[in-house]
Amino acid sequence: MSEKKAAVAKPKKKSAFFRNGWDAYIWMAPSLLLILLFIFIPVILTFYLAFSEVSTAGLVRKFGTLDNFKFIFGEVVFKRVMLNTLIWDIVIVSLSMVLSIIVALVLNEKFKGRKFVRTVLLLPWATSGLITSSVWKYIFDYNYGALNTLLMKIGLISQPINWLGEANSAFMCMIFVGIVVTIPFMTFTLLSGLTAISPDYYEAAQIDGASFWDKLFKITLPLLKPAIDVNIVLNVIYVFNSFVIIHTITGGAPADQTATVMTYLYKLAFSRNKMGPASAVSVIGFVILLIFALLYMRYQMKEETE
Amino acid sequence: MKRIVALVLAAMMVLSLTSCQSAAPKDEKIELSFLVAEYSTKTGEYIQNVINKFQEKNPNVHVTLEIVGWDNLSTRVNTLVGAKQAPDMYAGGTATQFIPDNLVYKPEEILSKNLCDDFAKQFWDNNFTTEYNGVYQIPFLASVRALYYNKKIFNEVGIAEAPKTWKEVEEVCQKIKDFYKGDVYAWGVDGTTTEGQTVVAYYGWNNGGGYVDANDNYMLNDPKNVEAYEWVKSLIDKGYTNANPTIETRDDMQKLVVADKMAMLVTACFFPSLYPDADLGVAAIPYNDANVSASSTLGVQDCVCFFNGNAKAAEDSDAKKKAIADFMDFFYAPENYVGLMIQEGMIPATNSGVKELAVQKPEQAAYVDVLAGAKFYSRAKSNWQECSAGCCDVDQKVFTGAQSAKDALDELQALLTK
């Protein structure tokens, strides 16, 4: 009888808590707590400061004012800063993407010393941004710079070039550094995408007589698209927020002509002691990135539906 | 019965708490915090030794020292103030930004009269703010600026003495340019965010201009300042100066002078102490004899301020205020203070310190006389930081030719006075 009872006993029901999937939140709690502490609260505080009158000591005097935004939009240099940020982001991300695809394709091939090259490629990414930027500052230096010395030794120039002496050339030099620093991360994420593509596609294409370009544009790039998309989103945000290269090499000089949103808000906050307007710039940057992320998500959802 | 027991227990508790309170001042360990800017890698070690000596004599006081690099100094202090954890004593920066929120003591409220009276009058007066009608900080140390020149370069070119006037500067620069065919910079200009604000002091003052007028109102767009900027720009255009005045800092140029790549540079009096082997000459900053009759130099004082209870978790007890006063008396005592000045190549801000420096290091004390005639930044103005950053922007706009001196200075004047 007892055996019979045991045989017909129903399996033990999960508690309502676990049935509703709430246990997932317990597992996520540590991460959520960290995000709350180090991202969510600072973002809320930044918004709070952006809409407040903040004293020179950084204390809030009055909440509920648009004066900080009025101040920022009244700054002559703000347009230039926004334009610089746009150029900085688009040029670095797009050029880095093209170059990273090429490098990833090369590194995906089998050749002697591949591991060594892959390791070397990681170095600029693994090295501290401050060190990388300082080294590049000295490379471009007019008086002692390695670049001028090299170019003069091989006879390409007779006089040193003042790479950092003028706003446009200095900005181009920093974009170059930005690309050098961005390529390693992009390359490695693309490489992982490339290794996930089955060799069967290429073998089938080979049999059908496809050229290198056919394989690249009809197999590799379409199948690499998810990796490219992720890279674009991550790097647009990362490059937009990058600070150390410009801060170290020109500090935004001359007169903010090479500044981006990040270096400009740093100067506002810590050189000009204007914490409120600096927070307003931060909010503007946040909104721009948010719009970009929303547009991207919409595009992704549309793609998935199609 | 229960009521009686409860009453007795309550009475005992009150008594025990009262007895604790009355014993507190005698046995209380007083904690002080001292935040100091890093002048050199040895700053922290020196001040910690002074603290150790003070603590030996005052075992009930513990002073925690925090040394912060210049790049992070203002961020660190603002963060501490925002968190109501401001240090009791803050040396290196300025109190100006904290005055409007009533976060700092007036020195007379907390320091001994003897110490307040010992500070050189010119420093004390420079800290007087007309906006808030009082002095809110004491001088920590001072430096003075002068023209330094590379003696080897002068000898090779055949220049007997340093130029005194702007006209002489141009003549000497041309000689150096001709001799070295442009391989040696004749004159150094710093228009970076490190020292860009000095352009008004070095050239504006020496042309009759300046930051503020006699009534302490900004006068950045004064024609004398415009003329001074145009003169510096002319030096750049003629190829007399360093290649990148907007990104080459004072430190970069000091290295160029020492490396025989630059002939003349206006910089701080601690320059020779950084390069003791360099063969440097020193002279007054040149002036425009068409507008002024003598040279003006820039004296720079860094200050100490004392945060009050508004910037901390609680009001300071009388015992703590006394401990701060005692510590400051001890710190500024010549036997403790002057060693730091010698180590950092600075000038003492106290009369007793100056006397001691004259005994210990007469060559450094010579700068005290130069300092006597020096002018100072208008750091007591609450928007001085905006002015300072704005001057750097003007330098960069004018020196790169992006804007005329008049337009750039008009814009800055409008920004500061709106």
DSSP string over B12-58: HHHHHHHHHHHHHHHHPPEEEEEEEE-SSTTHHHHHHHHHHHHHHH-
What pLDDT digit, counting tens, does each position of B26-78 carry? 567 899 999 999 999 999 999 999 999 999 999 999 999 999 998 789 889 98
Identify the pLDDT of residue B72. 85
Does residue B386 belong to the interface with chain A, where contact is any CB pair within 8 Å? yes
| B150 Cβ contact list (under 8 Å, min separation 6) | B257, B258, B260, B262, B263, B264, B278, B279, B280, B281
Per cent of chain A over pLDDT 90 is: 73
Q: Are residues B395 and B338 in the same domain?
A: no
Does B12 fall in a domain? no
* pTM to 2 decimal places: 0.83
Does B10 fall in a domain? no
Q: Are residues B132 and B268 in the same domain?
A: no
Which among A57, A170, A250 has CB closest to B78?
Answer: A57
Does B236 fall in a domain? yes
Which among A164, A170, A271 has CB closest to B193?
Answer: A271
C-alpha A145/C-alpha A138 separation (Å) is 5
Q: Are residues B232 and B289 in the same domain?
A: yes
Q: Are residues B286 and B372 in the same domain?
A: no
**Positive or negative: CA dihedral A127, A130, A132, A138:** negative
Q: At A246, is the pLDDT very low, low, confident or very high (cuts 50, 70, 90)?
A: very high
Q: B78 and A256 in contact by Cβ < 8 A? A: no
pLDDT at B366 over 90: no
Q: Which residues of A touch B (CB under 8 A)?
A: 55-59, 76, 142-143, 162, 164-167, 170, 250-251, 253-257, 267, 270-275
Among A52, A56, A75, most B C-beta atoms within 10 A, so best to mutate, is A56
Of A104, A88, A179, nearest to A136 (Cα)?
A179
Q: Are residues B236 and B342 in the same domain?
A: no
Q: In total, how many domains does chain B have?
A: 2
Q: B386 and A275 in contact by Cβ < 8 A? A: no
Does B17 fall in a domain? no
Does B5 fall in a domain? no
Which residues in chain A are contacts of B98 at CB distance < 8 A?
A: 56-57
C-alpha B200/C-alpha B216 separation (Å) is 15
Please give the DSSP secondary-structure letter assigned to residue B298.
E
Does B23 fall in a domain? no
Q: Are residues B187 and B291 in the same domain?
A: yes
Overall average pLDDT of the A87-113 stretch: 94
Q: Are residues B260 and B407 in the same domain?
A: yes
Identify the pLDDT of residue B11. 47
Q: Are residues B267 and B187 in the same domain?
A: yes
Rg (alpha carbons) of chain B, rounded to whole number: 25
Rg (alpha carbons) of chain A, rounded to whole number: 26
Which residues in chain B are contacts of A250 at CB distance < 8 A?
A: 247
Q: At A17, is the pLDDT very low, low, confident or very high (cuts 50, 70, 90)?
A: low
Q: Are residues B386 and B244 in the same domain?
A: yes
Does B406 fall in a domain? yes
Provide the token pair at A296. Answer: 């991207």
Which residues in chain A are contacts of B78 at CB distance < 8 A?
A: 57-58, 275
Instruction: Name the least confident of A288-292, B332-336, B365-369.
Output: B365-369
Identify the pLDDT of residue A14. 64
Identify the pLDDT of residue A106. 93
Does B14 fall in a domain? no
> Domain span at residue B65?
29-143+301-376
pLDDT at A266 over 60: yes
Report the residue of chain A nearest B387, measured CA to CA: A272
Q: Are residues B385 and B369 in the same domain?
A: no
Q: Which CATH number goes with the domain that contains B138? A: 3.40.190.10
Domains of chain A (ranges; CATH) run 67-305 (1.10.3720.10)
Choose between B371 and A65: higher pLDDT. Answer: A65
- The phi, psi pair for B182, rounded to 5°, reads 85, 0
pLDDT at B19 over 90: no
Q: The tokens 């100094």 sit on which residue?
A: B73
Q: B261 and A143 in contact by Cβ < 8 A? A: yes
Q: Are residues B247 and B394 in the same domain?
A: yes
Q: Are residues B372 and B259 in the same domain?
A: no
Among A46, A273, A275, most B C-beta atoms within 10 A, so best to mutate, is A273
Among A67, A143, A246, A268, most B C-beta atoms within 10 A, so best to mutate, is A143
